[in-house]
Each structure stands twice: as C-alpha cells, then as structure tokens.
C-alpha cells in the first residue's frame, strides 16, 4: 500500500460503531425488488437505493463518521478535501454538522449540480486542475499552508467504516444473496461491502464494477502495481487516473471479482433505471447494472443486489443518456 502506510482495516465492530455515530445524520435507504430488472436479467434483482440518501449519494455516511471522530482542535482548524463531487458534499455536510470550516477542491468542469450543492452547504469551493488528481494535490497544498485537516478521498479508515453501513443494512434486510455488484471509483464503498459481506454472508460474492475508461483501480487490484492510466470516462464518480493504497489493499484481500464496463453501457443502464425503477441514477451508480447486463448468463436464477450509489445527475447528462 504505497500511499497508505499503517492504516488499519475497519472491523465489523468499527462499522457497527459508525452506524451509531451517523444514524442521526443519514437515512436508512430502501432495498427494493424490481420485476422489470428481474425480467431483464432473468434473476431476482434488488436495488440498494443510496441515490435516495441525503445529498443523493452514499458518501455522506463516511464524511459524518470521520468528522465525528476528530478532535476539537481539528474542527477548529477546519477540513480540506478534493473530490469529483459526492465526497466533497459529504465532507462539507459533516463539517457543517460539527461546526467546522471546510474547503473543497474540484476539477475544472466538475458536475455543476454537485459544485452548487457543496457551496450551499457552506464550504468554500475551489476549481483546480483538469482531473481529480490535480485537485487532490492542491488540497494537500492548502492543508500544508493553512493547517486544515486534509481528508483523503479513500485512504481513511473512518470513511470506509462509515460507507460500509449501507452493506450492513443490505444483509439485515435481505438473506440468501448470491451477488452484490458495487461501483468502484476510489474504492471505499466496495471495500466496506467486502468487509461486511465476508462477516455476515460469506457465501455472497461481491463484484466490483469500474469504468473501462478509468481503469486504474482495476489494474492495481489485478497486479498490485500502482500506476497512472489515461482517464476519459464521463462517469465522474469513477474518474480516477490513479488507485489508492488503503482500499486497494482491502480489495486485493477480499474482492472476488472486478469487471470493467464501457461508458455507452453505463449510459444505457441510466436509461434502464429510469424505465425499470422510475428513479435517477448517476453514471457511477449505474455501472453495477451495466456490469450485470454484461454477465447476464451467470446471474440467471440468482439473487442479485445492485448498488445505486448516487443520483446526482445533471439534466444534460440525463438527456444524453435518454437520447
């Protein structure tokens, strides 16, 4: 884990404690069965609706858990982070909840709806760099210059423990699950899903899905080498050109299968969600359905849970998917 020395993987106890820490700040999201998707995949298909979560994405669970564990001194100094959107909303929301200042660095051209939401939560928004990694470098500079606590998008055990709480809810609400398909961007959500599932339902197979046009985490998981890859996906929630040591370390130990999906397949999955569930799912959240369609033959007759990780899609993005 080249960029995450000494970080400890959360235990199920850590995740249960995280649930207690965040329960007054987040929603327990529904897990729903959809006949249309079940017919499409010839399987028993359920959707975990983190697109219904506060701020429209699962990330808020991690932000609240992390900030709840910080010291008064850290809160006095404030928080700075970099994000493609949803993580930034999460930290901004958590900082406001605990009375702390927050700065979020976004890539130039970031999703305007997410940027506006971050600003509305009281955080200072800075646009820097053409891709997330340049934004992350600027956030680290700001931390050094100001003393603000820098919150990494993935190399934070408290973030993983927080977002893992949605997987607790899945296994409490539904038994005999054959597959859970999870989107992988930085990897916190998939890491949490693996930790919880290995403990609560070892027979369930967790599958990660990442955009083929942003494959850094996939190749790091596959080879153990952390390299930079070209990143051109339209799925901003999956848009990393580098992988991160802490979640990849967890995934290399626990994730059984990892697949790549094309941007056009993700766009089709957004449309399928509108038609089959009457809900809006952003690109990252649609990746698991895209993966499921690609592996339909393997899923036949199985009970499958798809993680709809977020719903923060712009009208232009939605129009493009529906077209």
Please report, to the nearest 10 degrees, the dihedral formed by the alpha carbons of residues 141, 147, 150, 156 taken in order. Answer: 130
CA atoms within 13 A on the CB side of 225: 5
Distance, CA of 226 to CA of 252 (rounded, Å): 13
Predicted confidence (pLDDT) per residue in 108-126, tens digit: 988 898 899 999 999 999 9
CATH code linked to domain 12-58+158-322: 3.40.50.1100
* pLDDT band for position 1 (cuts 50, 70, 90): very low
Distance, CA of 60 to CA of 71 (rounded, Å): 19
Distance, CA of 234 to CA of 213 (rounded, Å): 8
Element (H, E) at 209: strand 205-211
Predicted confidence (pLDDT) per residue in 234-245, tens digit: 999 898 889 999
pLDDT value, residue 18: 98
Query: What does pTM read for this prediction?
Result: 0.95
The percentage of the chain sitting over the pLDDT mark of 70, rounded to a whole number, equals 98
Beta pairing class for 31-33 and 44-49: antiparallel
Average pLDDT over residues 293-321: 97
Q: Check: CB of residue 291 under 8 Å from CB of residue 259.
A: yes
Predicted confidence (pLDDT) per residue in 176-211, tens digit: 999 999 999 999 999 999 999 999 999 999 999 999
pLDDT value, residue 113: 87
Residue length of the chain: 323
Asked if pLDDT for residue 5 goes beyond 90, the answer is no
Query: Which one, of 51, 48, 55, 60, lies nearest residue 18 by Cα?
Result: 60
CATH code linked to domain 60-154: 3.40.50.1100
Distance, CA of 107 to CA of 80 (rounded, Å): 14
* CB-CB neighbours of 289 under 10 Å: 32
* pLDDT band for position 129 (cuts 50, 70, 90): very high
pLDDT value, residue 2: 57
Average pLDDT over residues 290-304: 98
Both tokens of 169, joined, read 């809810």
Beta pairing class for 149-151 and 31-33: unpaired
DSSP per-residue letters across 241-305: SS--HHHHHHHHHH--EEEEE-HHHHHHHHHHHHHHHS----HHHHHHHHHHHHTHHHHTT-EEE
Contacts (Cβ under 8 Å, ≥6 apart) of 83? 89, 91, 104, 105, 106, 118, 132, 135, 153
Domain boundaries, the chain: 12-58+158-322, 60-154
Q: Which residues pair with 54 in a beta bridge?
A: none
């Amino acid at each position: 884990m080249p960029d995450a020395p000494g970080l400890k993987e959360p235990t199920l106890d850590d995740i249960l404690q995280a649930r207690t820490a965040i329960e007054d700040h987040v929603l327990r999201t529904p897990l729903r069965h959809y006949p249309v998707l079940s017919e499409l995949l010839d399987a028993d298909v359920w959707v975990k609706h983190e697109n219904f979560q506060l701020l429209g994405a699962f990330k808020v669970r991690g932000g609240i858990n992390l900030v709840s564990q910080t010291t008064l001194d850290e809160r006095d100094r404030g928080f700075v982070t970099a994000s493609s959107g949803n993580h930034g909303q999460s930290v901004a929301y958590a900082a406001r909840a605990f009375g702390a200042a927050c700065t979020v660095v976004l890539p130039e051209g970031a999703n305007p709806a997410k940027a506006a939401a971050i600003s509305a939560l009281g955080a200072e928004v800075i646009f820097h760099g053409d891709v997330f990694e340049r934004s992350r470098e600027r956030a680290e500079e700001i931390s050094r210059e100001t003393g603000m606590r820098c919150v990494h998008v993935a190399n934070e055990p408290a973030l993983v423990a927080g977002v893992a709480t949605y997987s607790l809810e899945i296994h409490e609400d539904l038994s005999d699950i054959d597959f859970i398909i999870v989107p992988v961007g930085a990897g916190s959500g998939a890491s949490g899903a693996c930790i919880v599932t290995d403990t609560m339902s070892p027979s369930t197979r967790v599958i990660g899905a990442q955009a083929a046009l942003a494959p850094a985490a996939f190749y790091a998981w596959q080879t153990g080498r952390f390299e930079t890859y070209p990143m051109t996906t339209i799925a901003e929630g999956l848009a990393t050109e580098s992988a991160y040591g802490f979640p990849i370390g967890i995934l290399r130990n626990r994730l059984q299968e990892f697949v790549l999906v094309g941007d056009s397949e993700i766009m089709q999955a957004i449309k399928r969600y509108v038609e089959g569930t009457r809900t809006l799912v952003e690109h990252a959240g649609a990746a698991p359905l895209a993966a499921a369609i690609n592996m339909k033959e393997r899923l036949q007759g199985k009970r499958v849970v798809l993680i709809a990780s977020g719903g923060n899609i712009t009208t232009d993005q939605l129009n493009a998917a529906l077209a």
